[in-house]
A and B are shown apart, each in its own frame.
Chain A
């Protein structure tokens, strides 16, 4: 059963959305619980275009992300300044 998520894009990905004629934010259907890699495949976005997937305001790598119907999802490409990538939990340290 397909479910709807609200999807946002930031930085250079806003240009990709615009070129494809998508609103930002937009809503898309996902086939139930969907992994980050499956979401990117669904959106036809390469892995390297996305550093972090926000799901309901929490950052995760695309590999760790899981989205479900009703979620607020956002895609951030590489380019978020370093301290914030650490402070917001994008980047594993150590």
Chain B
């Protein structure tokens, strides 16, 4: 029977129970979001005693299925004030699943000024004072300290100095198989963990029996078909492994959707210098790795090891959105400087999208010049120092805009808009506007042909078909986020329908179920409605589903504007 663990950080008590019936058929985002909607007071202060932080692996996390290593983290977001699910790779989720732990919930607040380490083993849960040297320490070093103390293979979830300061841009970092860093980045969940005075959660699966599969042969067969779909597809077999997600810089630049100089234009002249092709050539020349998996069993391997000029490891998980924000939107034509920034984001423990866009707003405010790499790095280092300016930048784009009287602030529900201009890629603009998560490109990501029935080509510059496209992508994504699968599997499933069928069959084989594709769609809708319901009870209305007014300006090279009416936007969630 799967365990449901509740840890009260106020009383330091632990309750381990069988999974409550209402959560038994859920996992991943489905579980975290429905749990938060059920148990968290929507009007609570996100850093107060009523908020709860939940970790939940997906349906297939910990199995032998390819790319099934994801963990969902949920709470009320201190950044958006709404519901949040943020998911991550690393080793933590697979260990939870192998220990048959359905969820770990952190509740309550300590009154004393101490940080704790929560340790989860097969013998139970203990709460002990965090090693003093880890307080204020960067995540790379702190993970080493903790793995030296608790074991080199333990899973680690940790907050950096930003989480200790409870900054709304703070993330939760997770050790990957090489003890580098993956992150549940968006929405400030690191601040929630910091408010509960949890420096780190350690998980040791020694003695765990591993996941049980109801029908092993059926699972094996479906898993093989699923793997075949991923390895034979050009996106997951060739594109992502070599170029990472940064493959998108040149593509979006060509399409006129690469926001440049704080969304003033959709194309720039230096994109190729910061794009995936240049990045791959640089990595190869310096002896790094163009391909790397963020969790055991990943066969897409979109991550990389980016080395500095001396050939020393600098960063991994060096994503398109981070490169875009600093390189294109901040006009910093210097991939090495962006890589140093990416490392610092991971080390201090902030979301690399939110904080990089906060830097853009700081450029807009005149705090630092456009295109100045040194000034950008110096500004980011202020976060670690805890200076007033550092805390503002570490609190995200909207905070910088508010403090400096800037109106050109690209956020929805206080969360920064990532790397795709909503005027030139209108479908993603509708997702930014309407997702309960605040502006989030990954909220509308999963494409499966048997879910998506839009019909015909969708012109990215036009309005036709975009409402249905955004709606269907969001429904499919909510479902895939519950599987424990990396969302990037959807990059391939689009073209190989059997890949999606195999995914559903793996879930059925593991749990002895008979789900169909329609059930998966229904699950996606249920999750989205629960999330939107929470936000409504927290005070959100349709008026919050709007893009900033500067998107009424024309965007070069296509001269397009954000031209959806309120009524059209509101149709996205009419299902």
State the CA gap A56–B558 with chains docked (Å): 9
Q: Which residues of A contact B493 (CB under 8 A)?
A: 82
Closest A residue by C-beta to B492:
A82
CB distance from B455 to the nearest CB of A (A): 3
Partner of A80, one of B247, B257, B461: B247
Is A57 close to B, CB under 8 A?
yes
Of the candidates A82, A83, A93, the one whose C-beta lies within 8 Å of that of B454 is A93
A57 touches B248 (CB 8 A): no
B240 with A8: CB separation less than 8 A: no
A72 to B343 CA separation, bound complex (whole angstroms): 36
A21 contacts the other chain (CB 8 A): no
Of the listed stretches A10-18, A27-35, A38-46, name the one at the interface; the rest are far from the partner chain. A10-18
Residue interface mask B225-263, A partner, CB < 8 A = 1:
000000000110011101101011011101111000000
Residues of A within 8 A of B449 (CB): 93
Q: Are B234 and A77 in contact (CB under 8 A)?
A: yes
- The residues in A between 1 and 24 inclusive whose CB is less than 8 angstroms from any CB of B are 8, 10-12, 14, 24
C-alpha gap A80/B495 in the complex (Å): 12
Establish whether residues A94 and B454, one from each chain, have CB atoms under 8 Å apart when the complex forms. Answer: yes
Q: Are A81 and B488 in contact (CB under 8 A)?
A: yes
Chain B neighbourhood of A77, CB < 8 A:
234
Q: Assuming A11-B243, A11-B247, A86-B447, is B254 touching A78 (CB within 8 A)? A: no
Residues of A within 8 A of B456 (CB): 92-94
Check A74 for interface membership: any CB of B closer than 8 A.
Answer: yes
B245 touches A83 (CB 8 A): no
A56 to chain B: which residues have CB within 8 Å?
557
Number of B residues whose C-beta is below 8 Å from A?
A: 51
Minimum CB distance partner of B557 in chain A: A57
**Interfacial residues of chain B within 36-60, with CB under 8 A of chain A in the complex:** none
Contact of A10 among B257, B277, B446 (CB under 8 A): B277
Give Cα distance in the complex from A11 to B458, angstroms.
24
Q: Is A79 a contact partner of B234 (Cβ separation < 8 A)?
A: yes
Say whether B453 faces chain A, with CB atoms less than 8 Å apart: yes
Q: How many residues of chain A have a CB within 8 Å of chain B?
A: 30
Q: Is A68 an interface residue (CB 8 A)?
A: no
A9 to B304, CA, bound (A): 23
Residues of A contacting B446 with CB < 8 Å? 83
List residues of chain B with CB within 8 A of the CB of A24. Answer: 272
Given B235, B255, B457, B459, which contacts A54 in the complex, CB threshold below 8 Å? B255
Residue in B257, B276, B452 whose CB lies within 8 Å of A86: B452
Flag if B491 contacts A54 (CB, 8 Å).
Answer: no
Q: Which residues of A are found within 8 Å of B240, using beta-carbon distances?
A: 79, 81
Given B235, B242, B254, which contacts A82 in the complex, CB threshold below 8 Å? B235
* Chain B: CB-nearest residue to A64: B457
Q: Closest chain A residue to B556 by CB distance? A: A57
Question: B445: CB under 8 A from chain A?
Answer: yes
User: Which B residues lie within 8 Å of A91 (CB)?
Assistant: 457, 494
What is the bound-complex CA distance between A92 and B444, given in angstroms? 17
Known: A74-B254, A89-B458. A12 touches B245 (CB 8 A): no
Q: With a CB–CB cut-off of 8 A, which chain A residues contact B558? A: 57
Q: Cβ of B425 < 8 Å from any Cβ of A?
A: yes
Interface string of A49-69 (1 = CB under 8 A from B): 000001011110000000000
Measured CA separation A90–B48 after assembly (Å): 47
Contacts of B473 in A (CB 8 A): 83, 86
Residue from the set A76, A84, A92 with the largest chain B CB neighbour count within 10 Å: A84
Known: A8-B250, A11-B277. 5 other contacts (CB 8 A): A14-B277, A79-B238, A83-B447, A86-B447, A93-B457
